[in-house]
Chains A and B, each alone.
Chain A
Amino acid sequence: MTHVLEVRGLSKSFDGVHAVRGVDFDLTEGEFLALIGPNGAGKTTCFNMLNGYLRPDAGSVRLRGAELIGRPPRKIWRMGVGRTFQITATFLSMTVLENVQMALISHHHRVFDLFSRATRLYVEQAMALLELVSMQDQARRACSELAYGDLKRLELAIALAHEPALLLMDEPTAGMAPSERIALMALTAEIVAKGGVSVVFTEHDMDVVFAHAHRILVLNRGELIAEGSGAEIRANPLVQEVYLGGGTSFVQEGAHA
C-alpha cells in the first residue's frame, strides 16, 4: 500500500504549553481518516501545520514523499492539498458558479489574465463539480444568499476543483443541523469511494465519525492515544476515560460543537 501522507514527530507549543506533541501517522491512498479528541486536544493545530498556516516546532509532513513543512499555504494547495474551513470562507460577492470558477482559474494559472471574461472560463468543469455536490440548481445564485449547509457543500466543490490528492476538512459539519451533517459526510464518503482523493477530517459528532470513517485517530492533550476502527475505538478503555473522565460522553461532545 502506498501512503499519500506521512506525518512524523509533529510538535507545536504555544508559550511553553504543548498543543501538539510527537504526532505520527500515515494516510493510505483512498482512505477516509477521522481525527477526534476533546476540545483543545490540538486537532486544529495539527491541521494548520499540515496546510501551512502554522509552522511546527519539529516534525515532518510528506505528501507522496515531498516535504510540506516550510511552504506557504498556497504552495501546499498547488501540490494537491485541498481544504475546507471550520467557519466557511467564500467569495460572497460572486455567484456559486463563479466561486468554483475562481478555483479553476487559479489552478490553471490564469489569475493575471487581463483580457478574458472570467465568467466564461471553465464553465463546464465548474458545473460538473457543482453536480458532484448536488448544487447545480443553485449555480447562478449569489453566494451571499446561500443557506449555511449549502455553503459547506460549495466549499467542498471548491476544494475538489484542482483534483487534490488529499483533502483536509476541519470540523466540516460544525454549525449544521444533524440531518445535514449525515448528508454532507455521506456525500464526502461517496467522493472518496470514487477514488483519487484521500481525506482527513476532524469531527465532534461521533455518529458521523463511526458511520463513515475508515479509521480513527484519537488525540488528547496534543498526543495520539489510540488508533483503529470505530469498534476498536469505542471499546478502548483509554478513549473512554478521556471522554467520560472529562465529564463528557461521545454524545454530549457532539452537542457543544
Chain B
Amino acid sequence: MGFYFAQLLTGLANASSLFLIASGLSIIFGVTRIVNFAHGSFYMVGAYLTYTLVTMWSGSVLGFWGGVILAAAAVGLLGLVIELTILRRIYKAPELFQLVATFGVVLIVQDVTLAIWGAEDLLGPRAPGLDRAVRIMGEPIPEYDLALIAIGPAVLLAIWLLFHRTRWGVLVRAATQDREMVGALGVNQAWLFSAAFVLGAFLAGLGGALQIPREAVSLQMDLSIIGEAFVVVVIGGMGSVSGAFVAAVLISVLNAFAILVFPQISIVLPFVVMAVVLIVRPYGLFGKPGSEHGAPEEPDQPLTLMSQRSAMVLATAVALLALSPAVAADFTMILLVDVMVATLFAVSLHFMMGIGGMVSFGHAAYFGVGAYGAAMAVKFFDFGMLPAMVFGPVCAATAAIFFGWFCVRLSGVYLAMLTLAAAQILWGVTFQWQDFTGGDDGILGVWPAKWASSDQVYFYVAFVLCIGGIWFLRRAAHSPFGYTLRGIRDSQTRAEAIGINTNLHQWMGFALAGGFAGLAGVVFAFSKGSVFPDSLGIAQSIDGLIMVLLGGIHALAGPIFGAVAFVMIEDWVTRLDYWRFIFGAIILIVVLLAPDGIAGGVRRLLRAVKGGAA
C-alpha cells in the first residue's frame, strides 16, 4: 500500500514539473495562437541559468530560490526579445510558418547553449533544506518532491488569480476566447501578446529551474520535454490552464502506475492518452471549438498547367539528372539519391498539406514505416529488394490508413498534433520493440540486390521510383481527386454541398501521401543499408516541413525546390561547427523575409523580368 502511495506522490511531483511548462505553452497558444516549439528551449535555458546561479551561491536557501526566480525572470526576458524580434512579424502567418520559425529558434538556442555551457551534462546541487527523504507509510519520499507537489497547485492558483482578479488577466481570457472581439475593444494587442509570451516563457523557465535538483542539465532537455508538453496542452484543451493541470496530473499519475506493469510504456503513454482523448473530445478536455486555427490564409491562386517553357526546363533538368552517373563521382551519386528521396518525401507532405490543407507534424511516421517495413521484410522474411520495395510502401499506406482515420476527423492544429502523436507512438514502438526493430541499434544489412549494388545502378533504381512518384503526385494534384482535396481545404461546407464525402476523401488523400512517403523511406533504407528510429523522429518530420516551406507551400514546384535546396544546404552546413545556429538563422530568414519560399521568389523574379522586358 505504502509503495503505491509513494508511486502516486512521484507521479504528482512529475505532474507539477510538467504543468509548469505546459501552462506557459497553453497561455501562449491561447492568446497568440502560436504553437511554440521553442518552449522547450526556454525550459532548457531556465535549467542552465539556474545551474550557474545556484552553484555560484551554493549552500544557502536564499541562494537556491533566488537563483530559481532570477533564472525564470531572465528566461521571461529572453521570451520578450524573441517575441519582439521574430514572432511579432509572423502572427498573421499560417501555423506552419510559426512552427518552423520557432523551430529555427530551437536550433539557434541549442548552439548558443552549447557555446556557453559546453556539451557535458551538468549535475546541479540539491535544494538546501529539502535534500533528504521523509518516510511516509514506510516509504522514503524526497522532500523536494513534496515541495514540487505544493508548487504546482500554488502556481495554478497564482495564474487563476492573475486571470480573474486583474484587468490584464481578464483581457487575456477574452483574447483566448475571441481575438477579434479584443481587437474591437481597442485593446493594444501587441502589448497583450508580448505580456502573454513573457509570462509563458517565465513559466517554462521556472519549470526548467526547478528540475535542477532532480535531473542532470543537458542539451537534450528541450526536445525531450516539448513533445510531452504539447500533449498536455492538447489534452487539456489549447489555451486552458486548468486543463493543462488536469492533463499533467492525468498523464503523470497514469505513467507512474503504468510503468509498474509495462516498464517501456513511458515513451508512448502520453501520446496514446492524447489520441484517445482527441477521439472522444476533439478539442481536448476543456477546449472549445473555434480555437483550432491560426490566422486564416490568403486563398491560393488557381492551379495552372506548366507553360511550355517551364516544361522544357524541367525536362532538361530531369534528363541531366538521368545522365549524371556518366560524369559524376560516386559520392555525388549518393548525394543525388538523398536529394531525390528528400524531394519525394517533401512532395508527398506537400500533397497532404499544401493541396489537402492537412498540416502534418508527423509525416516522418510513414517515411519510417516504409523504411522499417522493407528492412524487416528483408530481415525476417528474406524478401528480395524489389518485393521489399513494394512491401514497405504498402506498410506505410496501411499505417496512414489506420492513423489517418482518426486524424481527418480533426482539423488545424489539432489535426497536426494528432499526426505528431501518431508519429511519436510509432517512434516509441520502434525504439522499444528491441526484438523486431533492433531498438536504438536499428536494422542493419538492408542492401540492394546484387544487380543493383553499384552506386550507378542503384541511382537508376532510385531515379525511377522517386521521379516516378513525384510525377504521379503532380499528376494527382491536377486530377479530380487532387482538385477535390483542394476544394475541401478551401470550403468544407461547399464540398459537402456538392455531394463530396469530405472525411472519406481526406482519409484517402492522407493514405496516398503516406504511401508515397513510405516509398521515399524504402529508397532511403536501401541506399543507406540500414534503418534507425530517427527516420520516424520529430526532426525528420520537421525537415519535411522546412523543405515545403523553403520551397514555398503555394506552388506545386515548391517542395521540389525546397528539398533540393535543403539537402544541399544541409550537406554543406553540417560540416561546419555550430551548423544548427546557421541553419536556424537560414530558417528565420526564409520565414521572415521570403514567406512564399523559393518558388514564390522565382515567380516574383520572372514577373519582374517580364515586366522589365515589356
By a beta-carbon cutoff of 8 Å, the part of chain A in contact with chain B is: 73-74, 77-78, 83, 85, 89-95, 98, 102-103, 105-107, 110-119, 121, 142-144, 158, 161-162
CB-contacts of B464-508 with A (<8 A)? 475-476, 478-484, 486-487, 489-491, 493-501, 505, 508
Residues of A close to B494: CB separation below 8 A: 85, 89-91, 158
With A89-B491, A91-B491, A105-B484 already in contact, the answer to whether A113 and B479 are too (CB < 8 A) is yes
A249 CB, min distance to chain B CBs, angstroms: 31
- Chain A to chain B: the 7 pairs with minimum beta-carbon distance, closest first: A92-B299, A93-B300, A118-B483, A89-B494, A91-B490, A144-B299, A89-B493
Residue of A107, A110, A113, A162 contacting most chain B CB atoms (<10 Å) = A113
Residues of B within 8 A of A162 (CB): 498-499
Set of chain A residues within 8 Å of B484, measured between Cβ atoms? 102, 105-106, 111
Given the complex, which residues of A lie within 8 Å of B479, measured CB to CB?
A: 113-118
A111 and B486 CA atoms in complex are apart in Å by 12
Contacts of B481 in A (CB 8 A): 111-114
- Tell me if B302 counts as interface (CB < 8 A to partner A): yes
Q: Is residue B301 within 8 Å, beta carbon to beta carbon, of the partner chain?
A: yes
Min CB distance A117 to B, Å, is: 5
Q: In whole angstroms, what is the CA distance A251 to B374 when docked?
A: 72
Taking a contact as CB atoms under 8 Å apart, the answer to whether B498 and A103 are in contact is yes
Question: Beyond A106-B484, A111-B484, A113-B479, is A93–B497 a contact (Cβ under 8 Å)?
Answer: no
Please determine whether B490 and A92 come into contact, CB atoms closer than 8 angstroms. yes
The CA of A106 and the CA of B496, in the complex, are separated in Å by 10
Contact A94 B493 (CB under 8 A): no
Residues of B within 8 A of A74 (CB): 496-497, 499-501
Q: Shortest distance in angstroms between A58's beta carbon and chain B's nearest beta carbon? A: 25
A114 touches B497 (CB 8 A): no
Per the bound structure, the CA–CA distance linking A106 and B502 in Å amounts to 12
Known: A92-B299, A114-B479, A142-B302. A73 touches B491 (CB 8 A): no
> What residues of A have a CB within 8 angstroms of the CB of B482 in the complex?
114, 118
Residues of A within 8 A of B483 (CB): 94, 98, 102, 105, 118
Provide the residues of chain A in CB contact with B501, threshold 8 Å: 74
A161 vs B500: C-alpha distance when bound (angstroms): 14
Q: What does the 1/0 interface line of B523-566 toward A look like (CB < 8 Å)?
A: 00000000000000000000000000000000000000000000
Provide the bound-state CA to CA distance between A115 and B479, in Å. 6
- Give the contacting residue for B478; candidates A78, A112, A119; CB below 8 A: A119
Q: Is B475 a contact partner of A114 (Cβ separation < 8 A)?
A: yes
| B478:A117 contact, CB within 8 angstroms | yes
* New A-B pairs, 13, CB < 8 Å, besides A77-B497, A94-B487: A73-B496, A89-B491, A93-B300, A94-B486, A95-B302, A98-B483, A105-B480, A110-B480, A113-B481, A114-B476, A116-B479, A158-B494, A162-B498
Please give, as numbers and ranges, the residues of chain B lying within 8 Å of A116 by CB-CB distance: 479-480
* Cβ of A176 to closest chain B Cβ, rounded Å: 19
B486: which A residues are within 8 A, CB to CB? 91, 93-94
Return the chain B residue nearest A155 by Cβ: B494
Q: How far is the CA of A108 from the CA of B315 in the complex (A)?
A: 34
Bound form: Cα–Cα A83–B493 in Å: 11
> 20 A–B contact pairs at CB < 8 A?
A73-B497, A77-B497, A78-B499, A85-B494, A92-B491, A93-B300, A93-B489, A94-B483, A102-B484, A106-B499, A107-B499, A111-B480, A111-B505, A112-B480, A112-B481, A113-B480, A114-B476, A118-B478, A143-B302, A144-B299
Complex Cα spacing A161 to B508, Å? 25
User: What chain A residues lie within 8 Å of B305 (beta carbons)?
Assistant: 117, 119
Contacts of A118 in B (CB 8 A): 478-480, 482-483
CB A153 to nearest CB in B, in angstroms, measures 15
Contact of A85 among B301, B303, B475, B497 (CB under 8 A): B497
B residues lining the A interface (CB < 8 Å):
299-303, 305, 475-476, 478-484, 486-487, 489-491, 493-501, 505, 508
CA distance A95 to B479 in the complex (A): 15
Determine how close the nearest CB of chain B comes to the CB of A170; give it in whole angstroms. Answer: 12
Give the complex CA separation of A33 and B476 in angstroms.
Answer: 43
CA distance A162 to B479 in the complex (A): 20
Beta-carbon contact of B498 and A158 below 8 Å: yes
CA distance A35 to B300 in the complex (A): 37
The answer on a CB contact under 8 Å between A102 and B302 is no
Residue in contact with A94 in the complex, picked from B490, B496, B508, CB distance below 8 Å: B490
Complex: A102 Cα to B479 Cα, angstroms: 11
Residues from chain A with a CB closer than 8 A to the CB of B508 are 112
CB neighbours of A144 from chain B (8 A): 299
B500 and A90 contacting across the interface, CB-CB below 8 Å: no
A110 to B483 CA separation, bound complex (whole angstroms)? 11
B contact residues around A90 at 8 Å (CB)? 490-491, 494
* Cα separation A111 to B498 with both chains bound (whole Å): 11
Chain B residues whose CB sits within 8 angstroms of the CB of A121 once the complex forms: 480
Chain B residues contacting A89 (CB-CB under 8 Å) are 491, 493-494, 497
Residue in B303, B490, B497, B500 whose CB lies within 8 Å of A83: B497
Would B498 and A77 count as touching, CB distance under 8 A?
yes
Nearest chain A CB to B310 CB, angstrom units: 16
| Nearest-Cβ distance from residue B127 to partner chain A, whole angstroms | 53
A114 to B516, CA, bound (A): 14
Q: Give Cα A89–Cα B489 distance, bound, in whole angstroms.
A: 12
A85 vs B490: C-alpha distance in the bound complex, in angstroms? Answer: 15
Hey, which chain A residues are within 8 Å of B496, CB to CB?
Answer: 73-74
In the complex, what's the smallest C-beta–C-beta distance from B545 to chain A, in angstroms? Answer: 21
CB nearest to A93 among chain B residues: B300
Which residue in chain A gives the minimum CB-CB distance to B357?
Answer: A93
Q: A74 to B499: give the CA distance in the assembly, Å.
A: 4
Nearest residue, chain A, Cβ from B298? A144
Nearest-CB distance from A191 to chain B (Å)?
18
Q: How far is the CA of A105 from the CA of B487 in the complex (A)?
A: 12
- Give Cα A111–Cα B501 distance, bound, in whole angstroms: 10
Chain A CB count within 10 A is highest, among B478, B482, B494, B505, for B494
| Complex: A102 Cα to B494 Cα, angstroms | 10
- For A117, the closest partner residue in chain B by CB is B478
Alpha-carbon distance between A85 and B479 when the two chains are bound, in angstroms: 27
Q: In the bound complex, how far is the Cα of B475 from the Cα of A119, in angstroms?
A: 12
Alpha-carbon distance between A91 and B483 when the two chains are bound, in angstroms: 10
How far is it, in angstroms, between the C-alpha of A90 and the C-alpha of B486 when the chains are bound? 12
In the bound complex, how far is the Cα of B495 from the Cα of A77, in angstroms?
11
Nearest A residue to B485 by beta-carbon distance? Answer: A111
B497 A102 Cβ-Cβ under 8 A: no
Give the distance in Å from the alpha carbon of A74 to the alpha carbon of B496 in the complex. Answer: 6
User: Which of chain A's residues have a CB closer than 8 A to the CB of B302?
Assistant: 93-95, 98, 142-143
Centre residue among B302, B305, B496, B501 by max chain A CB count within 10 A: B302
Q: Determine the chain A residues whose CB is within 8 A of the CB of B303 once the complex forms.
A: 93-94, 119
Given contacts A102-B484, A102-B487, A118-B482, contact A111 B500 (CB under 8 A): yes
Question: In the assembled complex, which residues on chain A have CB atoms less than 8 Å from the CB atom of B497?
Answer: 73-74, 77, 83, 85, 89
Give A103 to B475 CA distance when docked, in angstroms. Answer: 21
